[in-house]
Amino acid sequence: MNLNFQRLVTAAAALSLSVLIVACGAHSNDSSTETFTIYQDAPKMSLLDLGAPGNSLGDVYHFSAALHCIWSC
């Protein structure tokens, strides 16, 4: 994925989340009933073996995992 696009998507997600938090907080009278939970699936690991074969300097581990949100006001 293009790095600039990834940064744009991350910034848009952070902005959207901030707006949701502010909007829900502004209309709520009882903050004890609000919950926001984020959890992540188990990561999928992959190794990019650079340099000498096997465990060596320069090897890179990549991971990815889906994030899930639960929001209730």
Rounded to two decimals, the pTM is: 0.37
Using the structure block, give the residue that is written with the tokens 């073996």.
Answer: 49
Q: Which residues contact 32 (CB under 8 A, 6 or more apart)?
A: none
Q: What is the pLDDT of residues 28-38, one digit of tens each?
A: 565 567 788 88
Q: Which of 71, 49, 72 is nearest to 60 (CA)?
A: 49
Give SS3 for 64.
strand
CA angle 38, 13, 42 (to 5 degrees): 35
Q: What is the pLDDT of residues 2-44, one digit of tens each?
A: 777 788 888 888 888 887 777 766 665 655 677 888 888 888 8
